[in-house]
Amino acid sequence: MLGMYLITLAIFFLIDMVWLGVAAKGFYRRHLGPMLSPKVNWAAAILFYLLFIAGLLVFVIRPALEAGAPLKALVLGALFGLISYATYDLSNLATLKDWPLAVTVVDLVWGAVLGGSVSWLAAVLGRHLLKL
């Protein structure tokens, strides 16, 4: 399971860094500007990554591998990502003054895309590389 965890973590980190560092960088700056910290709290970010990956493995990837159905990982991963990102964004929308609806919508879509793609890729690569 450690091998699957490391594969999933690497895929997640690569995809999410491209999203945050390139694709959506201007979007978040434009919509959250004054709320953004000048420095990333890496301890919090790493803890999120570690927990999210554990959730994907327990609730999505492992069941998909046991069923021999990588497409199941795609669907369940998208749902897991949507729910995870919705927890953060909808809570912010409900409780924070001036939290942008656009950020919530983009994050919910991104959570689903990220969760689904990471889960599917990890299931396919894990099956191939680790003979699962």
pTM score, two decimals? Answer: 0.92
Q: Read off the pLDDT band of 131 (50, 70, 90).
A: confident
pLDDT of residue 132: 63
Q: List pLDDT tens digits, range 12-49.
A: 999 999 998 888 989 999 999 999 999 989 999 999 99
Contact 126, 7 (CB under 8 A): yes
DSSP character string of 79-127: HHHHHHHHHHHHHHHHHSTT--HHHHHHHHHHHHHHHHHHHHHHHHHHH
> Residue 112: which pLDDT band, with cuts at 50, 70 and 90?
very high
Residue 110 vs residues 33, 80, 83, 84, 93: alpha-carbon distances, Å = 19, 12, 11, 11, 16
pLDDT over 70 percentage in the chain: 99
Answer whether residue 90 shows pLDDT above 90: yes
How far is Cα 132 from Cα 128, in angstroms, rounded to an integer?
Answer: 7
Average pLDDT, the chain: 95
Quote the Cα angle for 122-66-124, to 5°. 25
Q: Which amino acid is at 108?
A: L
Average pLDDT, stretch 86-93? 98
